[in-house]
């Protein structure tokens, strides 16, 4: 089984790492190429490009200037311990045992505007480049065109026949893949909460649930759709009644 998730805007480069193990990103040369483009942009241009505040633009301008190759444990951090948004809080990788971290490394892939695709222990430097950003790279008008089929091809090369791909990424990042060309059954769990007597996808809760689903898959060593339906963390339960498509199981609470 492979799982794809989105990155996070919020980062944590301060917390003590639970492991000294790290790996190198597959598309490090692309990350460097994209940085060279971003590095030339002034804070005001970054603010307009990314629709962010002046303070965030200044912060990310500095990050772009500080980017340096090679990545080392001194200037970088494993991705799974660098991202700290809602999905990553739901996953809570810091409390995983060493053998579960290795399982996570084999299973989880993080889609990224700058790094393309990351394994959990791949080193990364602080950045902000959402996949939906209209950044022109050579003849490519945006990041979707730039990454093209490479992310899908990479996943296909990693997966074996009969392996599932569990999509826990946002639409923005999942759109960087080419689902029709993925040589695997794709499972996209959906998380809904009751609010005002209606079932709704509430973004904050859904993001945390996606992370909790990753944690469940690792802890339970889930391998099948039936295994995935056993997810019951944070009071969510699989609902056959509300599941309209078999490959889009709905979990409610």
Q: Which of 107, 87, 89, 109 is nearest to 99 (CA)?
A: 107
Domain with 217 in it? 2-10+77-252
pLDDT value for 30: 98
* 238 found inside a domain: yes
Asked if the structure places residue 33 within a domain, the reply is: no
**Peptide bond before residue 239 is cis, with ω within 30 degrees of 0:** no
Q: Specify if 185 maps to a domain.
A: yes
Q: How many distinct structural domains can be found in the chain?
A: 1
Contact 17, 78 (CB under 8 A): yes
Look at residue 41 and tell me if it is in a domain: no
Q: Is residue 182 part of a domain?
A: yes
163 falls within a domain: yes
Q: How far apart are CA 62 and CA 127, in angstroms?
A: 10
**C-alpha closest to that of 150 among 174, 173, 178:** 178
Bridge partners for 186 per DSSP: 165
DSSP 86-137: HHHHHH-GGG--HHHHHHHHHHEEEEETTTEEE-TTBEE------TT----B
Structure confidence at residue 1 (pLDDT) = 95
Express as a percent the part of the chain with pLDDT over 90.
100
How does pLDDT run across 100-109, given as a tens digit for each residue? 999 999 999 9
Which residue positions in the chain have pLDDT lower than 70? none
What pLDDT is attached to residue 85? Answer: 95
pLDDT of residue 226: 98
- Measured CA to CA, the distance from residue 139 to residue 131 in angstroms comes to 17
Q: pTM of the entire structure?
A: 0.97
Residue 215: its pLDDT value, please?
98
Domain contains 49: no
Domain annotation covers residue 70 = no
């Amino acid at each position: 089984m492979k799982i794809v998730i989105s990155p996070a805007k919020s980062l944590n480069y301060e917390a003590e790492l639970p492991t000294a193990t790290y790996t190198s990103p597959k598309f490090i040369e692309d990350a460097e190429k994209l940085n060279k483009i971003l590095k030339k942009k002034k804070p005001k241009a970054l603010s307009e490009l990314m629709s962010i505040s002046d303070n965030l633009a200044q912060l990310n301008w500095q990050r772009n200037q500080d980017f340096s190759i090679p990545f080392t444990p001194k200037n970088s951090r494993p991705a799974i311990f660098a991202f700290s948004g809602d999905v990553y809080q739901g996953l809570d990788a810091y409390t995983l045992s060493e053998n579960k971290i290795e399982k996570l490394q084999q299973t989880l892939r993080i889609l990224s505007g700058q790094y393309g695709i990351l394994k959990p222990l791949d080193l990364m430097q602080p950045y902000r480049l959402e996949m939906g950003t209209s950044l022109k790279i050579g003849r490519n008008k945006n990041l979707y065109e730039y990454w093209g089929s490479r992310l899908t091809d990479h996943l296909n090369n990693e997966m074996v026949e009969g392996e599932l791909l569990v999509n826990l990424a946002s639409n923005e990042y999942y759109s960087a893949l080419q689902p029709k060309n993925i040589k695997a059954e794709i499972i996209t769990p959906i998380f809904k909460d009751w609010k005002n007597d209606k079932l709704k996808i509430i973004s904050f809760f859904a993001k945390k649930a996606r992370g909790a689903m990753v944690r469940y898959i690792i802890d339970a060593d889930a391998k099948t759709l039936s295994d995935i339906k056993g997810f019951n963390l944070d009071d969510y339960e699989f609902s056959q009644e509300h599941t309209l498509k078999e490959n889009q199981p709905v979990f409610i609470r």
